[in-house]
Amino acid sequence: MAIGATEWSSGWWRHARRVDSPNFGPRPEVTEVSLALIHSISLPPGIYGGDEIERLFTNSLDWDAHPYFQKIRGLTVSSHFVIRRSGEVMQFVSADERAWHAGQSEWKGRANCNDYSVGIELEGLEGETFDAPQYDALKTLLVALRRQYPISDIVGHEHVAPGRKIDPGPGFDWQALRTAPSLADVSFPA
């Protein structure tokens, strides 16, 4: 039995609220999940606590409910995990599968980060700070992921798609992760 097997079932983490997204596909054969990719999201931007993120990732967002939604109309995207401001963790795609979160991306000379990464969205806005319960939940999730997958790098969307993406942004406290003893052997962005 694999380490952490009791925490995971077919790529689903038992501590997350499961919300199935149809927006995923298979990872390329013989692909190891080696990258955790941190994002930020809020819908509409700067508004927290609603169900709009969940609706976006499940293709049930009412595009006419807010003027901003017209800018993203028709997007079919997902992430593996979303961490709410409260620290609640939701999972939309099995970590064994390929979620659609990174888009055109590259890390350490390797393109198509969706193929080998786990996407983690923090409810928040680029440039703003994140809440303590989110960091606590993120650390717990990252430790659990590392028990199940050979994750060696943790970076932001801004690092794999520079010039195109800016999340999680300057409000994200990378030092909070760097100083976590359980993540001491992980590579972080410079």
In whole angstroms, give the CA distance from residue 110 to residue 14: 31
In whole angstroms, give the CA distance from residue 40 to residue 67: 20
Are the C-beta atoms of residues 168 and 160 closer than 8 Å to each other? no
97 an active-site residue? no
Residue type, position 172, single letter: F
Strands 117-123 and 81-83, by their bridges, are parallel
- H-helix segments, 78-189: 132-148, 157-160, 174-178
Are the C-beta atoms of residues 40 and 126 closer than 8 Å to each other? yes
Are the C-beta atoms of residues 63 and 25 closer than 8 Å to each other? no
In whole angstroms, give the CA distance from residue 159 to residue 114: 14
Supply φ then ψ for residue 37, to 5 degrees. Answer: -115, 115
Which among 52, 121, 123, 126 is annotated as catalytic?
A: 121
Residue 93, both tokens = 């795609």
- Would you please indicate which residues are annotated as catalytic (active-site) residues? 121
